[in-house]
Amino acid sequence: MKLLESGVVSENRKHIISFIILAATLLLVFPLVFDIFRLNLVAKYLSLAFAAVGLVICWGHGGILSLGQGVFWGLGGYCLAAFLKLEAAVNIANEAGTDQIKALTTVGLPDFMDWNQITELPYIWYPFKSFPITLICVLIVPGIVAFIIGLAIFKRRVSGVYFAIITQALCWIMEILFVTRQGWTGGINGITDLRTCLGWDIRTQAAQYTLYFLTAGLLLAVILFSKKILSSKLGQLLVAIRDMEDRVRFSGYDVSNFKIFSFCLAAMISAVGGALFVLNVGFMSPKLVTIAPSIYMVIFCALGGRESLIGVVYGTLIVCFGRTYFSEQFPELWMFLMGGIFIVVTVACPKGLAGLFESHGAKALAFLKKFLKIENLASKDKKEVEA
Amino acid sequence: MGITNIFSGYTGEELLSIFTMQGFSSLSLFSVFLLMALGLAIIFGQMKIINMAHGEFLTAGAYTTVIMSDMVVKYMPGLLPYYFIFAIIAAFIVAFALGYIVELSLVRFLYKRPLDTLLATWGVSMILQQGFRLVFGGREDSANLPDWLMGSWYPTETIAIPLNGLFLLGTSVVVTLLVYFLLFRSRWGLCVRATVLNREMSNAVGINSKRIDRLTFAFGCGIAGVAGAVFTTIGSVSPAAGSLYIVDTFIVVVFGGAGSLLGTIFSAFGIAQLQSIMEFFLTGVLAKVFVLLSVVGILMIRPQGLRSNKVRE
Amino acid sequence: MGLENRNSGNVFRAGWFSLFTILALGLGLVASPALAKNPLLDKYPTAKVNTTGLAITDDVVTVGQLHSVSGTMAISETGSVEAERLAIKQINDMGGVLGRKIEIIQEDGASDWPTFAEKAKKLLVKDKVASVFGCWTSASRKAVLPIFEKENGMLYYPTFYEGLEASKNVIYTGQEATQQIIWGLDWAYKQGARTFFLVGSDYIWPRTSHKIARRHIENHLKGCKVVGEEYYPLGHTNFNSLINKIKLKRPDCIYSIVVGGSNVSWYKQLNAAGITGESLAKKNKLFLTISTTEDEILGIGGKNVAGFYACMKYFQSLDNENNKAFVKAFKEMWGDDSVIGDVTQAAYLGPWLWKYTVEKAGSFDIDKIAAASPGVEFKGAPEGYVRIHENHHLWSKARIGKMLENGQFEVLVESEDLIEPDPFPEGYK
């Protein structure tokens, strides 16, 4: 028994340790183990993990289940993709291509606008001519959309189920808008063929290494930042609202403001991920703004542990790796497995992997220590410990 | 294009025919929405379960119909004119059984956590979809319709009323009445409503609320199965067909106000009218966006939906 | 329905099968290289035909196959997967390409464009395949195109599509929009159609096609006009309002590019509303589509479409020796109840065209293949003779087929000459 107790580490130290393990995995282990092709895949997965981190804040701690996380993630992505596309459109004149293509291309106008007979850049694209403004847009556009929705919904005290369904409808509206306004958005093809960012070719191996570290680094930074917020008084209030909304309201707090804040924060964090996805993958597609990806993001979060900022990163990586590797050989079975994960996680372990680790990890750790001790002890002592 | 010049150059009779037919189109769209939403109105409205797999129960009903149709064509071609009625009943039974199993094995653990039912039933929906795909293949499938469901009825020379639309309308009226009587005029309905209002009290007066839950859920799924069977007259079946309907269905139910059967009917009617009028005067895509936006807008002003029952939490 | 079972089962097994053959072959190579001696090795030594490090040995050349075998597009792409495998098998039976047997690495795009991009990169960067046969939707092609151009790969793309593209790294074996549209509209004009109603699913191919169609109708067909142009979201299932609108406009020709799951609802509701091949013919009107092939009719049911017309380059019922042999071989390999649509046939052309191009170039190098492609002919094509144009599209004929109740087409008429591919039609910008 004594051994068990000594295995319990203080709450704070545990967080620091698990953060260091995550950082070491992302920044050291992965780059050493994987080649650039796989590493680029990991970068893609990590950019999705941003959305899961956002969900930890608004769902895990705030109790607001947003089924529209993909919309904000996608808006962030589209903003950056718009900038990169304009850059590509300006550079196209210098690139090799057949005369026919050149004759059909207007310099400075994205190719899909040419295909849709749009002759002048729509005003909505003007902000994306400037890199700093684009960066601001990546954060602000999803932020504003989230703010408007949050304001309208939370001020009227709509919550839970209704909110989830309204955000899902939002996904649908976004998808239809992005697909049908194809002269402005590239339609169902999305914004493709992105090559350079401020003249820096994002498709080279060196660039992909850099982008991987940028993605992983930013993700770690966002996790630290979120941790800071969640452990502040604000974070505690969020949890209080989640668990007993009325009591917080009666204590004199304006509950809706906190909800709006956490929803917007989650949206902006997701948007950063969307933008990084565009850099890593080189295109943006409306397929990523539909209902299904948003639900996948929720499952990343549920699997990793909806309250654990670090757990969700593992959740994302496991689902995505599973999808890539398992689906190569057994595409049919993969869907069953995925469905099974949804069910098992929600029914059996609502706190996800992080919850499992909490409840069994300490015991496992203690067992490990015990085991190691046994190795060192003489057989006489071993009996004692077992007793 | 302005509304006036669309209609220039037509005689009054022609316009009347078109408007009659258009009026009927919106009625059949209303029937589609209503049939989809009835089952969910029971499951979501009464039980607060977010059943994302609702569309898959619909698909299950549709596939049942397709199987029956194939069997009839193969073994008993003479029965083709009549089989459809039995197919609807079979679809109900299959979806009911499937719903029963899902409730028993999964949903009953989650009544206290409504948001989690969303995730778990999404998992169910993935599994069912993949199951359909493995069993039936991914292709669009359709049932062989009896002749009395094909073609149109011509009340005048220029008006054509699709027979499958009439059938759809008829079925939705029958199913609605059935649901109404079961919920509000039967003992079972009384128990359901009592359980929804106050579970502890219901238990105390001797209602087996667990059994009621199970039957209610399965019944809602069964109605989805009926909807699926009837939809084979207007569309196709594919493994993912249900997911096309699910968001629409939720919107109808939420818009109507959870827990209110009448609200669901109003909302299905309103959304269907709005959508078909928009489709006729604007374009299909714009209609969809406009309808979704206005529903979301109205929900923001009136979050409880069109009608709502006061329920003690 | 038995058919679908067979399809999905086969793709599944095919994955295992290819894994197996690759393993077996790998073992075979290690164990007894002498057994699989390449007779053409002296003439085409590996060092000479492969200067860029592609996955080519003395006896084997590896190619990639990139289609969706899972997800919503799987059913459309299955036909292409099967046709490409048939072609590769036949080529191997004839002795392979430059004496080398073709090995396939199949990847699943899972109906998801980002996945397509990921897998394309894997095929080119990790597997170093000599060419890729794959993609179906425009969106998947657009997603992989930059990767093919960056990594310098070669893609054989089978689907009829909207044009507005010509890449050094792609051979388009399907028709671009003008090849399918203009001749078909001229035919409708000859049948007496003067007013046209354009209907489409809402994405780039139908929109672009309708723009080309509208241009042609308004500028080149005397006294003709477009009386309506409507788009519905993919997967839309309620067309009654649209049908009423069509009835209001009374067009001579309904020109339809509706795709996917919407197809069945669209045809069923047309039928229910009394717009059938028969009723249109009575009024000397017609329904013409460029998006419905034998594959789709299988799901819609021949009864619902009988009497409508489609403009394609290939129908399964084409009456020529090449096609008879092709249909026979296809059914032998993939089952008697298979149907073969336009795209399936176009996919079959890919491996053959690649083989002839490699033989013409005397090399597997991508640059040499790209340069050698124009002018390559395939006389054994089921659709008849085809030839690659300078813009990497195919010269091919167009044909009008009338849909029959049994799900097949009656080929009514075909264009006299091969139609030149023109992916960048004049004045289109």
Tens digits of residue pLDDT in A367-379 = 777 776 655 554 4
Residue C53 resides in a domain: yes
Contact check, Cβ <8 Å, B119/A164: no
**Of the candidates C114, C138, C166, which has its C-beta nearest A189's C-beta?**
C138
Within 8 A of C393 by CB-CB distance, chain A residues are none
pLDDT at position C34: 43
Do C165 and C230 lie in one domain? The reply is no
List all chains that touch chain A, counting a touch as 3 or more CB pairs closer than 8 Å: B, C
Contact check, Cβ <8 Å, C299/B141: yes
User: Which of these ranges, A365-369, B130-134, B185-189, C333-337, has the smallest mean pLDDT?
Assistant: A365-369
Pick A117 or A322 by higher pLDDT.
Answer: A322
pLDDT tens column, A156-205: 777 677 788 888 888 888 888 888 888 888 888 899 888 888 889 888 88
pLDDT at position A383: 46
Within 8 A of C231 by CB-CB distance, chain B residues are 283-285
Do C87 and C235 lie in one domain? The reply is no
Residue C241 vs residues A133, A139, B7, B10, B25: alpha-carbon distances, Å: 44, 41, 15, 18, 6
Contact C393, C423 (CB under 8 A): yes
State the best of A283, A320, A323, A336 to mutate against chain C, taking most chain C CBs within 10 Å: A283
Do C285 and C385 lie in one domain? The reply is no
pLDDT band at C196 (very low <50, low <70, confident <90, very high): very high
State the best of A328, A329, A335 to mutate against chain C, taking most chain C CBs within 10 Å: A328
> Would an 8 Å CB–CB cutoff place A181 in contact with chain C?
no
**Of the candidates A161, A172, A341, which has its C-beta nearest B247's C-beta?**
A172
Please give the Cα distance from C221 to C192 (Å, whole number): 11
Do C373 and C292 lie in one domain? The reply is no
Please give the Cα distance from B109 to B89 (Å, whole number): 29
Helix, coil or strand: residue C134: strand
**pTM of the entire structure?**
0.85
Contact check, Cβ <8 Å, C118/A176: no
Helix, coil or strand: residue C316: coil
pLDDT band at C2 (very low <50, low <70, confident <90, very high): very low
Contact check, Cβ <8 Å, A336/B130: yes
pLDDT at position C3: 35
> Would an 8 Å CB–CB cutoff place B150 in contact with chain C?
yes
**Of the candidates B134, B235, B241, which has its C-beta nearest C8's C-beta?**
B134
Is residue A97 pLDDT above 60, yes or no? Answer: no
Contact check, Cβ <8 Å, C203/A190: no
pLDDT at position A328: 67
Do C275 and C187 lie in one domain? The reply is yes
Do C170 and C182 lie in one domain? The reply is no
User: Which of these ranges, A126-130, B173-177, C13-17, has the smallest mean pLDDT?
Assistant: C13-17
Residues of C with CB under 8 A from a CB of A: 8, 12, 15, 19, 69-70, 107-108, 110, 112-114, 117-118, 121-122, 125-126, 138-139, 142-143, 145-146, 150, 162, 164, 166, 202-204, 207-208, 211, 231, 233-234, 391, 423-424, 428-429
Do C298 and C331 lie in one domain? The reply is no
Number of domains, chain C: 2
Q: Cβ–Cβ contacts within 10 Å for residue C422, how many?
A: 19
Buried-state track C257-283, b at ≥16 Cβ within 10 A, e below 16:
bbbbbbbbbbbbbbbbbbbbbebbeee
Count interface pairs A-C at CB distance under 8 A: 109
Residue with structure tokens 């009464």?
Answer: B46
State the best of A113, A276, A332 to mutate against chain C, taking most chain C CBs within 10 Å: A332
Strand arrangement, sheet containing C399-403: C225-232, C195-201, C253-257, C286-289, C309-312, C399-403, C409-414
List all chains that touch chain B, counting a touch as 3 or more CB pairs closer than 8 Å: A, C
pLDDT band at B157 (very low <50, low <70, confident <90, very high): confident
| pLDDT (mean) for A344-364 | 81
ipTM here: 0.82
> Would an 8 Å CB–CB cutoff place A173 in contact with chain B?
yes
Do C41 and C159 lie in one domain? The reply is yes
Do C120 and C190 lie in one domain? The reply is no
**Of the candidates B18, B144, B233, which has its C-beta nearest C248's C-beta?**
B18
Mean pLDDT (chain C, rounded): 87
Within 8 A of B120 by CB-CB distance, chain A residues are 342-343, 346-347
| pLDDT (mean) for A130-140 | 95
Do C44 and C159 lie in one domain? The reply is yes
Residue C428 resides in a domain: no
**Of the candidates A173, A298, A335, which has its C-beta nearest B119's C-beta?**
A298
Within 8 A of B116 by CB-CB distance, chain A residues are 346-347, 350
Q: Hey, what are C361's tokens?
A: 């170039």
State the best of C11, C240, C256 to mutate against chain B, taking most chain B CBs within 10 Å: C240
> Distance, in angstroms, between A354 CA and closest chain B CA?
17
Contact check, Cβ <8 Å, C301/B163: no
pLDDT at position B5: 58
Within 8 A of A341 by CB-CB distance, chain B residues are 123
> Would an 8 Å CB–CB cutoff place A332 in contact with chain C?
yes
Contact check, Cβ <8 Å, A332/C8: yes
Within 8 A of B164 by CB-CB distance, chain C residues are 268, 272
Q: Which A residues 132-161 touch B at CB under 8 Å?
A: 152-153, 156-158, 160-161
Count interface pairs A-B at CB distance under 8 A: 111
| pLDDT (mean) for A18-38 | 92
> Would an 8 Å CB–CB cutoff place A265 in contact with chain B?
no
Do C62 and C156 lie in one domain? The reply is yes
State the best of B54, B122, B128 to mutate against chain A, taking most chain A CBs within 10 Å: B122
Do C189 and C159 lie in one domain? The reply is no
pLDDT tens column, B87-115: 999 999 999 999 999 999 988 888 888 88
Helix, coil or strand: residue B153: strand
**Of the candidates C245, C261, C269, which has its C-beta nearest B238's C-beta?**
C261
Residue C213 domain boundaries: 177-312+399-414
pLDDT at position B57: 95
Is residue C30 pLDDT above 50, yes or no? Answer: no
Contact check, Cβ <8 Å, C233/A193: no
> Distance, in angstroms, between A343 CA and closest chain C CA?
21
pLDDT band at A323 (very low <50, low <70, confident <90, very high): confident
Share above pLDDT 90 across residues of chain C, in percent, rounded to a whole number: 61
Residue with structure tokens 């504003």?
Answer: A144
> Would an 8 Å CB–CB cutoff place A369 in contact with chain C?
no
> Would an 8 Å CB–CB cutoff place A75 in contact with chain C?
no
Contact check, Cβ <8 Å, B110/A295: no
Contact check, Cβ <8 Å, A346/B116: yes
Pick B64 or B3 by higher pLDDT.
Answer: B64
Within 8 A of B244 by CB-CB distance, chain A residues are none
- Which residues have C-beta within 8 Å of that of residue C356, sequence separation ≥ 6? C376, C377, C378
Contact check, Cβ <8 Å, C202/A101: no
Is residue A385 pLDDT above 50, yes or no? Answer: no
Instruction: Give the domain CATH number at C235.
Output: 3.40.50.2300
Nearest to C156 by CA among C285, C65, C57, C260: C65
**Of the candidates B116, B131, B296, which has its C-beta nearest A169's C-beta?**
B296
Contact B52, B125 (CB under 8 A): yes
Residue C35 resides in a domain: yes
Contact check, Cβ <8 Å, B284/C263: no
Residue C423 resides in a domain: no
State the best of C204, C230, C420, C422 to mutate against chain A, taking most chain A CBs within 10 Å: C204
Residue with structure tokens 């195109």?
Answer: C145
Q: Which B residues 224-253 touch C at CB under 8 Å?
A: 233-236, 238, 240-241, 244
Helix, coil or strand: residue B208: coil
